[in-house]
Structure 1
């Protein structure tokens, strides 16, 4: 690439020293050479049909037309999409509130609940306790597996951190389980 670049002939342009220094600083940010920077700047102005003398403020007629076009598009979206959707949602919520009011007015008889006997209640809580212990054991095993997949990575410029050696699919599966 350098060879192709060196084949071009160059020309000198007289520029004030302060402007040249400013351009060099700008050129370092934009491109690897002054020529390419200047070409990029000129291409930008040509592509956007702009002149450095153009006023990009509100007084620019072309800008006013573009702003008015955007306003017209937004108003059209509001009329055609947003307002009808809002009306539909309002109607839906009104119907839902009417249904809820009707349901609230009706009373349901659930009957009398069967009281638990002391033995049955004790058995229920013992079963639940065993289930919870099994779940806790499973969670401990999962946490231990994750802890085994952690490795400490020493930081170059500060504190170190832990890295989890786990594939994305395996991590997603673990997230869903928990």
Structure 2
């Protein structure tokens, strides 16, 4: 008796004689009842999402061989990448490290940067104070220029639509202001005056 199905009644199916003989011999080969064999087959197809008409290859063993071949191909590709890409890159990096070590060794022997000129705390304080006052003066000049520009702005009321603001300035005034804004970084000049 089939476990779990003892109380169910039997139902007959109409199938061809040759198919019934083949199915019965298959059930004897796997030592299962016809009901359980059919149930396991249907479960297999539903669980794996395949149709009885699908061809999975010759056997499961052939699938294993195909998977093994593909795995070997992937391993070969990885080894090729290692050989063609990683080893040359590693060699380049190794040569760079060796050059750097050699340059550092030469630097210990041949390069002398001299001793830096030390300045006193008062000199440093005077330098930063001067730069602070120069920056403050430049900021004040820019503020005055902006105020002068704002005084030249006039609101013009439009009869049709929104009003707008008009700047009453000459082209020379605008060029001077633009030049001043473009060269803001020139307030801090270098020792050569550039």
- The structure with the largest alpha-carbon Rg is 2
TM-score, normalised relative to structure 1: 0.36
* Greater relative contact order, per chain length (Cα 8 Å cut-off, separation 6+): 2
